[in-house]
Amino acid sequence: MDSSVSRDAGITRDAGITMEKIVSLAKRRGFVFQSSEIYGGQSGAWDYGPMGIELKNRIQRFWWKEMTQLHDDIVGLDAAILMHPRVWEASGHVENFTDPLVDCKKCKQRFRADQIDQAKLAKKECPECGGELTDTRKFNLMFKTNIGPVDDGTGLIYLRPETAQGIYVNYKNILQSNRMKLPFGIAQVGKAFRNEIVTKNFIFRTCEFEQMEMQYFVKPGEDEKFFDYWRGQRWAYYEKLGVRMDKLRWHQHGKDELAHYAKDAYDIEYEFPMGFKELEGVHNRSNYDLTRHQEFSGKDLQYIDQDNGNERYIPFIVETSAGLTRQLLMVLCDAYEEQKVGDKGNEDDWRTVLHFHPELAPVTVAVLPLMKKDGLAELAQDIRQGLKQEFSTDYDQGGAIGRRYRRQDEVGTPFCVTVDYQTKEDGTVTVRFRDSMEQIRVKREELELTLKKAIKEYKRV
Ligand code: GAP
C-alpha cells in the first residue's frame, strides 16, 4: 500500500493517485490495452478497448460540437494522413521538427539532451551509468515510408506529424467552396505520428496519437485579439467538460520554447500524476504557414477582402491544438477516486469510482434486476430496451446488487436503474446516482426525463 494511503483521514483514500493505478484500471476494465501485447508489446502505441473507444468518441464529439455546432464560423475537414512530401518542406518540419539526442556509448541508452541533467550533459556523462555520451545531434521526429512499387527513395512520403497542414493546404478549397469570409475557422480530428524517443507515462506521449485541431484565419493585425479570444474559449471548454479547474493552469512559451512557426504560444497544462504537463496549445502562427505554402506551391493563397476594396493579404492563423488521446488520459485521471463508503473494516468499505461527466461516460445507464427470477430479469431487459434509443446502456444480472453498483462505479456509469418486486406491483424503479450514491424511486414512464434532466444539470461534487 503506498504511503499516501490513509483509511482514517476522510472519505478519499488516495490523495495522490498514481499512473500505475490508472494503467491497471484502464486494462482491467477495457479502456486501454498495450499494442500487440501477446508479442510483448509495441512501445509508443496503445489500443482502445470497448470502454476506451466509447470514451474517446464522446470526448471527440464534445470537442466537435463545441468547435463547429457552437461556432457559426467554423467548418470541418477530414484530410488524408498521406500528403505531398513538399508540404513538410514548406511547413518547416523537414528542417526544424527535431529533438536534440545523445546516446551513451557504454549502456547504449538514448536521451533527449534537453531532458537530462545539464551539468552531466556538459561533461558528456550518462545520467544512468556514468558512461560517455555522444555529441548532441538533431533527430527528425517524422516517420518516413515509401509510396509506390519501388523502394528506391523516389516514393518518399511522411506520416503526418500534425493535422494542421491538411487544413492549410485546403484553405483555398474551403474558402471558395463554402464562400467563407474572414475571420473563419477549420476544425479537424485525426491521427498524427511522431517518432518519439521517450514514450513513458502511458498514453501521454506516444508515437501514434490523435489530435483535435482548429485553425482560425484572421486579418493581419487582428491576430492578437483573436488569440486572446481563443484562449478564453479553450479555458471555458474545460469548465464545460466538467474537470477540476484547479488542476489546470496556463504556461506561456518563452522565446527559446516557441516552435519555428509561432509568434506567441500558451499551453493549457493539467496536473497529471507525474506533475503539470501540456494538455493543449493555443498558438499565434502569424502568416508563416500560408506564406510558405504559397512560396513552395506557387499558388496564390492571398485572401481578397471584398468588404475592404479588394485588399489582398495572407491571413494570420490562430491555432488551438489539443491531443485527443492525451485528453482521454486527463479525463481518466481527473475522474478517478477511491472513496470510503462503509465501516466494516475490510476492502468492501472502499469503492473506486470514475466521476465522468455523464455526457462522456462510456455507459450512461445500467439496468440491474434485483433477482434473476420471478420475471424481474425480463422486466429489466424490457426497460433497458426502452432506454436504448436515447442512452448508451448496460445490463448486469450477476452477483449481489452492491457488487454490481461497484462494477458500474469503476467504469464511471452515472446512473443505475434497479428493477425489484415493487416494480412489478406499481411500475416504479430505483435510480441510483453514482457520485452521491443517493437513490430515488421514479415511475417507469418518467425514467427517460429524469435521466435527461440529471445529465443536463450535472455538477461534480
Ligand atoms: N499543430 C501544432 C501542434 O501539433 P504540438 O504542441 O506539437 O502542436 C499539440 O501538439 C497537442 O498534441 C499537444 O498539446 C498534445 O496534447 C498532443 N500531442 C503532441 N505530441 C503528442 C504525442 N507524442 N503523444 C500524444 N499526444 C501528443
Nearest CA residue ID for atom 4, ligand 1: 162
Q: How confident is the model at residue 212 (pLDDT cuts 50, 70, 90)?
A: very high
Q: Is the CB of 188 under 6 A from ligand 1?
A: no
Using one digit for the tens of pLDDT, what is the confidence trace for 34-63?
999 999 999 999 999 999 999 999 999 999
pLDDT for position 13 = 59
Q: Where are the beta strands (DSSP E) in 273-326?
A: 275-284, 303-305, 311-313, 316-323
pLDDT for position 14 = 53
CA of residue 128 to ligand 1 center, whole Å = 28
Sheet holding 208-218, edge to edge: 74-76, 184-193, 208-218, 316-323, 275-284, 264-272, 248-252
* Residue 11 reports pLDDT greater than 90: no
Q: Is the CB of 210 under 6 A from ligand 1?
A: no
Measure the CA–CA gap between 168 and 192, rounded to whole angstroms: 16
- 48, 112, 209: which to mutate for ligand 1, most atoms within 8 A of CB? 209
Using one digit for the tens of pLDDT, what is the confidence trace for 326-338?
999 999 999 999 9
- 276, 278, 282, 324: which to mutate for ligand 1, most atoms within 8 A of CB? 278
Burial 367-393 (b: 16+ CB within 10 A, else e): bbbbeeeeebbebbeebbeebeeebeb
Q: Is the CB of 320 under 6 A from ligand 1?
A: no
pLDDT for position 49 = 98
CA of residue 290 to ligand 1 center, whole Å = 21
Burial 178-189 (b: 16+ CB within 10 A, else e): eebebbbbbbbb
Q: Is the CB of 321 under 6 A from ligand 1?
A: yes
Q: Is the CB of 322 under 6 A from ligand 1?
A: yes
Helices and strands counted in the chain (H then E): 14, 23
What mean pLDDT comes out for the span 300-310? 95
> What percentage of the chain reaches a pLDDT higher than 70?
97
Q: Is the CB of 194 under 6 A from ligand 1?
A: yes
Q: Is the CB of 22 under 6 A from ligand 1?
A: no
CA of residue 208 to ligand 1 center, whole Å = 11
CA of residue 93 to ligand 1 center, whole Å = 14
Nearest CA residue ID for atom 12, ligand 1: 323
pTM of the model: 0.93
Measure the CA–CA gap between 229 and 224, rounded to whole angstroms: 9
What mean pLDDT comes out for the span 313-323? 98
CA of residue 323 to ligand 1 center, whole Å = 6
pLDDT for position 388 = 97
pLDDT for position 8 = 33
CA of residue 322 to ligand 1 center, whole Å = 7
* Residue 414 reports pLDDT greater than 80: yes
CA of residue 211 to ligand 1 center, whole Å = 7
> What percentage of the chain reaches a pLDDT higher than 90?
88
Q: Is the CB of 359 under 6 A from ligand 1?
A: no
Using one digit for the tens of pLDDT, what is the confidence trace for 150-207?
888 889 999 999 999 999 999 999 999 998 999 999 999 999 999 998 778 999 999 9
Contact 115, 198 (CB under 8 A): yes
Q: How confident is the model at residue 12 (pLDDT cuts 50, 70, 90)?
A: low
CA of residue 326 to ligand 1 center, whole Å = 8
Q: Is the CB of 14 under 6 A from ligand 1?
A: no
Measure the CA–CA gap between 392 and 110, rounded to whole angstroms: 45
Nearest CA residue ID for atom 20, ligand 1: 205
* Residue 461 reports pLDDT greater than 80: no
The atom of ligand 1 lying closest to the CA of 205 is 24
Radius of gyration of the chain from its Cα atoms, rounded to whole angstroms: 26
- The chain-wide mean pLDDT, for the chain, equals 93
pLDDT for position 5 = 30
Measure the CA–CA gap between 437 and 450, rounded to whole angstroms: 16
Q: Is the CB of 99 under 6 A from ligand 1?
A: no
Q: How confident is the model at residue 2 (pLDDT cuts 50, 70, 90)?
A: very low
Using one digit for the tens of pLDDT, what is the confidence trace for 113-151?
988 999 999 999 999 999 999 999 999 999 999 999 888
What mean pLDDT comes out for the span 376-397? 97
Other Cβ atoms within 10 Å of 444 Cβ, number: 17
* Residue 222 reports pLDDT greater than 80: yes
Using one digit for the tens of pLDDT, what is the confidence trace for 338-378?
999 888 888 888 999 999 999 999 999 999 999 999 999 99
Contact 194, 161 (CB under 8 A): yes
CA of residue 206 to ligand 1 center, whole Å = 10
Nearest CA residue ID for atom 22, ligand 1: 205
CA of residue 362 to ligand 1 center, whole Å = 24
Contact 272, 333 (CB under 8 A): yes
Contact 451, 366 (CB under 8 A): no
Nearest to 183 by CA among 138, 143, 219: 219
pLDDT for position 83 = 97
* Residue 6 reports pLDDT greater than 80: no
* Residue 408 reports pLDDT greater than 80: yes
Nearest to 397 by CA among 373, 422, 413, 414: 373
Range name among 18-22, 69-73, 258-262, 419-423 with the lowest pLDDT average: 258-262
pLDDT for position 61 = 98
pLDDT for position 7 = 29
Using one digit for the tens of pLDDT, what is the confidence trace for 289-301?
999 999 999 999 9
